[in-house]
Structure 1
Amino acid sequence: MPDYDFQSPRLFVGADLAENGTVPLDPSQANYLLSVMRLADGETVLAFNGRDGEWRCRIARTAKKKADLVAEERVRAPTPAPTLAYLFAPLKHARLDYMVQKAVEMGAGILQPVMTQHVQASRVNVERMRANAVEAAEQCGILSIPECLEPLKFDAALQAYLPRGPLIFCDEREDAESPVETLGKLPKGPLSLLIGPEGGFSTEERARLMAEAGVTAISLGPRILRADTAAVAALAVVQACVGDWRSAS
């Protein structure tokens, strides 16, 4: 990301972005810019909406606590949304927030909770998940927000994601050898990555995964990782071996 502006605040907006177009800010966004960041009328921020690239926008104050943005210049063209689907057994509260944020930073394009037999959290607040995804996207410079989907049961998740391409799952029982060679054999195209719960996959779930021709098991080393740590480790390995880290090099 050469010559990128890391200093200006970034906002995700729902409105279209076009030269001289006005973008209304919701109360929380206006409060962030005017009260938290203490930006004045006429100062600039960066805005993106997942469709029109990234724009430098001027703050146009409309009242003491209200403001719009006026798009002045497109600084980055739109880029394709990531195709990597991240499937995960939900965690509780703060650890799920952390995992979602890190998955966004690591380039996941789809966030899909999967209800496994040993799952820790029986419910997922998808709106909270999306809010964390938006915050992570604003901070790490990406131009799109991952799809944040409603939970699927384990079998339904396999039925939904196996047809789209290879599904990689992190198997704590797999031999602790490097996954690089294994991942290097996978074809290019959309991938799905499945991380299980803290207690691991059940015997039945692991057998079901190992029986599918489109599933590849990898090890994350000789140590048992927490699920949120495993997420970062697995996404890094996948992106480096078969993902957008390799294509960017």
Structure 2
Amino acid sequence: MSTPKWRQLADDLAQQIRSGALAEGEALPQIRELTASGAGSTTTVQAAYRALETEGLVRIVRGRGTYVRRQRSRVIRESQARYQWEKDRALLPEDERRATGVTERETGLDTPALAFQATYEVVAAPPEIADRFGVALGSQMLHRHYRTSSRDESAPIGLIDSWLVYEVAARNPALLDSGREPWPGGTAHQLRTVGIEIGQIDDLIGARPPTADETKLLDLLPGTAVLVLHKFSYSVDGPLAEYSEAVLPGDRHQFLYRVPLERWPSV
């Protein structure tokens, strides 16, 4: 089956963008210019430009034109290896924990290339959170908001909200201070300071359209979905120690799962 002409045009322009022949912020040719040069009909060029926008390579500005978009840093999240790495790292000396974190590991960016933002608030547990932690409705919770981005980009890599039972976090007053973020060793080490060892983590992942606020904050193109990761961290004794919800741009994040399977018994 032959490749449609719009796809051929889109692939050619994509190659020019990825090679740098078309630079960030540069305007692509007007549709009438491409049609006049024989690249295809107006419908063909429009389809090619829409495909490039869907693939995150260009931004179409109505009434102005189509422009090469800044290429966003990508993240491959390998949850099994990530969580064991974080847990092992919680046992290391502070200078080793401070040297690098899981975001650096997954993005390939050095710590100075990342901008970290964290805000904390003490709130009454809403029904869903109270039910998950098995605490009374209205119990005090430490609600933490994390936004991490490359310093070369304005949009964060994701939007993360984390919950801890306040009276548990308060065993170490340092855990109540957002100014100590990014915390060397992350949540696994924070919990270790209050005597909690994580024994199991459950990930529940779904996809949905972004809200208007998420579209703006994450700088999403039309049609881009977000992945929503619900992470449940259980202590070795069983209770839920931390719950977080991460809203991740679908055009930036991939999840890689390696699942070893047991061998069949010899016949």
| TM-score past 0.5 threshold | no
TM-score w.r.t. the length of structure 2 is 0.21
TM-score w.r.t. the length of structure 1 is 0.22
Q: Highest Rg: 1 or 2?
A: 2
Considering fraction of residues, name the structure with more strand: 2
